[in-house]
Amino acid sequence: MSQSPWQPISPPKPPRPAKAPLTRERIVDAAMRLIVEHGYDAVSMRKIAQELGTGPASLYAHVANKGELDQLLVDRAAQQMKLSDEPDPANWQEQVKDYMREMLRVMRANPGVARAAIGQVPLVEHAMLSTEKLLAILKAGRLPDQAAAWAADLLPLYVTAVSFEETVQNASNWTPADVERFVGEMRTFFADLPADRFPVTVALATALTAGAGGDERFEFGIQVITAGLASLAEPS
């Protein structure tokens, strides 16, 4: 039957907006959102695909596997580091400390990236450029080649460990009052140990529990590491 002339004709449906093409950049964007909002364990190819409104199989045309995704997450964080342009032989120890502080700042801004970085050798552009700058600073300090090479591994490892520990602690959602109570209980535990078996621990109960939740321990670590490196510098 033909349509009645007085029957209203439905307006045409508006065309659906075209999906943005799937790219490696969009995949890393989605992964970074997940890792910051929900932690490293929330990041999987399936969940990234859900974020992007596609299927997991389509991601593998751009990212080979989770290991490559970890590299890309670390590389994205490395892009955010603000580093001095030129190594300064007269100020190289402070430049090393500033490098470590900046790396920790970026990892704190991207909680979960530390977990992606653990066990990784940075092989992507921006992460490698970051390592290149660190090596240049260490060589400006007249460190022997082998010491500079191992230091370029040791320094990021220390920062990554500090950041990862903070991520684990923050996952507990403790308030400052919770932390203060826990530290007080731990201090009491150390102080109440049998003094005949743990004399030094008992004596240092207060020192062992100082600086929790702050940057003092981190600053102590970078001071020790930098002083140790300076002791290896070749004579000018």
Question: Which of 63-72, 137-146, 161-170 shows the highest mean pLDDT?
Answer: 137-146
pLDDT at res. 205:
96
What confidence tens digit (pLDDT) does each residue in 14-26 have? 655 556 788 999 9
What residues does each domain of the chain span?
Answer: 24-63, 77-230
The CA distance from 25 to 59, in Å, is: 11
Size of the chain, expressed as the number of residues it contains? 236
pLDDT at res. 17:
56
For residues 205 and 191, the answer to whether their CB atoms sit within 8 Å is yes
The CA distance from 44 to 56, in Å, is: 9
Instruction: Give CATH for domain 24-63.
Output: 1.10.10.60
DSSP 42-104: G--HHHHHHHHTS-HHHHTTT--SHHHHHHHHHHHHHHT----SS--GGGHHHHHHHHHHHHH
Tell me the whole-structure pTM to 2 decimals: 0.84
Instruction: Give CATH for domain 77-230.
Output: 1.10.357.10
pLDDT at res. 20:
72
Whether residue 37 is predicted with pLDDT greater than 60 in this model: the reply is yes
Write the CB contacts of 27 (distance below 8 Å, at least 6 apart in sequence): 48, 52, 59, 62, 63, 69, 72
pLDDT at res. 190:
96
- Identical fold between 24-63 and 77-230: no
The CA distance from 42 to 120, in Å, is: 19
The CA distance from 102 to 201, in Å, is: 34
Whether residue 108 is predicted with pLDDT greater than 90 in this model: the reply is yes
The CA distance from 42 to 134, in Å, is: 31
